[in-house]
Amino acid sequence: MTSLPLVFDAPRRARPPRHLADLSVEERKSAVIELGEAGFRADQLSRQYFTRFENRPERMSDLPAAVRERLGAALFPALVSEVRHVEADRGATRKTLWKLHDGTLVESVLMRYRERLTVCSSSQAGCGMACPFCATGQGGLQRNLSTAEIVEQVVAAARIAAHGELSGRPVRLSNVVFMGMGEPLANYNRVVAAVRRLTDSAPAGLGLSQRSITLSTVGLVPGMQRLAEEGLHVTLAVSLHAPDDELRDTLVPVNTRWPVREVLEAADNYAARTGRRYSIEYAMIRDINDQPWRADLLGQLLSGRLAHVNLIPLNPTPGSRWDASPKPVEQRFVAGLQAHGVPVTVRDTRGREIDGACGQLAASG
Ligand code: SAH
């Protein structure tokens, strides 16, 4: 295990080509007009893309062929192409490896539950936050994803589900979690624009509800403060993993810049501004952060806050010397938090066998 530097600014790379999903409704209209077509064509394209999940111009049969050719080439470049997918849980979990236009690889994971269908999307290729227990963090940051590269992962998931590929019958995508590769708040503008595309009502966007979108962060306080002012009501999740700065400095290196107290204050501010309860993610690492006294300290910290704890049994990653906490230790930790009246759930380990669970995405070709 190496200790990597923190990287906040992604290396500059050639920009991915412009795609319809990069553009706001007004920008789409101007783009279409600039390409010499009537403005209403923008609406038709949006409808194809956001309600039928169609990104192949040749299939957009309500548009004349000449228009399809001109607008399609300009606004629907192939941004993400599937390299392969692997399934687990008898098809209920599917991890897809995507190749981007410049050969960069990213992964996303689709998870079908009884009452919801969630896609876990990447916001960056790699990650610069260097958390030592996370495979993505150990691989470093390649680059930011564009808005459309983020949206495309979600639209692809919606398409797969709508075509009945998951369970033999059409299903609607209901939730998006930004818990794939990358730190979403380190790619702030593009991620927020993507959230708008996902939540704007059709045909401007996918029409998902804001609360069904979860943005998970290591605790980039300035980004959290900015997000609180966006007027979006997405669910915020904070990767805490330790209640004390001494340990958190080592598990989530960005803690050396924004310590526990400041992160929780920023989360409280988000809750106050949006009325939304936030979640605290806490990977249970054997003999590292799972002691009863840490449960007690975390319980004290969170008691009275609009927060809920999601414990994540540590998933194995290459080269890691750490294990998940034994179940009885986990149960004691749960009880320790409940003693302070803090709501707790334990996250399932979906996709672990296909390296598709939390912290396992490495996108190796
Ligand atoms: N960068 C953001 C988004 C990634 S979300 C963030 O860190 O919040 C992925 C979640 O899985 C984070 O809570 C992360 O800390 C957690 N995680 C990383 N590696 C893990 C592992 N090996 N086992 C369990 N959870 C892990």
Residue 282, pLDDT > 60, answer yes
CB burial of 78-98 (b: ≥16 within 10 Å; e: otherwise) equals ebbeeeebbbbbeebbbbbbb
**CA separation, residue 142 to residues 117, 138, 303, 360 (Å):** 29, 12, 39, 17
Q: What is the pLDDT of residue 134?
A: 95
Q: CB-hemisphere CA count at 13 Å for 206?
A: 32
The active-site residue, picked from 37, 54, 107, 281, is 107
CB distance 326 to 333 below 8 Å: no
Q: What is the pLDDT of residue 358?
A: 93
Q: What is the pLDDT of residue 164?
A: 87
Distance of CA 227 to the CA centre of its chain: 15
pLDDT tens digits for 191-213? 999 999 999 999 999 999 999 99
Select from 190, 177, 260, 279 the least CA-distant residue to 221: 260
**CA separation, residue 117 to residues 161, 216, 242, 269 (Å):** 8, 18, 30, 29
**CA separation, residue 150 to residues 30, 156, 164 (Å):** 22, 10, 22
| Confidence category of residue 165, pLDDT binned at 50, 70, 90 | confident
pLDDT tens digits for 302-340? 999 999 999 999 999 998 899 999 999 999 999 999 999
**C-alpha 133 to ligand 1 mean position (Å):** 8
Residues 57-67, mean pLDDT to the nearest whole number = 92
107 classed as catalytic: yes
**C-alpha 84 to ligand 1 mean position (Å):** 23
Residue 291, pLDDT > 70, answer yes
- Ligand 1: does its nearest atom lie under 6 Å from the Cβ of 224? no
Q: What is the pLDDT of residue 365?
A: 66
Residues 227-237, mean pLDDT to the nearest whole number = 97
- Ligand 1: does its nearest atom lie under 6 Å from the Cβ of 134? yes
DSSP letter at 292 equals H
**C-alpha 284 to ligand 1 mean position (Å):** 11
Residue 294, pLDDT > 60, answer yes
Residue 80, pLDDT > 80, answer yes
DSSP letter at 61 equals T
Ligand 1 atom with minimal separation from the 252 CA:
15
What is the average pLDDT value for the chain, to the nearest integer? 95
Residues 147-159, mean pLDDT to the nearest whole number = 98
- Ligand 1: does its nearest atom lie under 6 Å from the Cβ of 270? no
Residues 258-284, mean pLDDT to the nearest whole number = 98
Residues 162-175, mean pLDDT to the nearest whole number = 89
- Helix (H, G, I), strand (E, B), or coil: what is residue 148? helix
The active-site residue, picked from 120, 131, 134, 358, is 358
Residues 289-308, mean pLDDT to the nearest whole number = 98
Share of the chain above pLDDT 70, in %: 99
Share of the chain above pLDDT 90, in %: 89
Planar angle of CA 128, 132, 138, nearest 5 degrees? 50
Q: What is the pLDDT of residue 1?
A: 47
Ligand 1 atom with minimal separation from the 316 CA:
22
pTM: 0.96
DSSP letter at 262 equals H
Ligand 1 atom with minimal separation from the 182 CA:
1
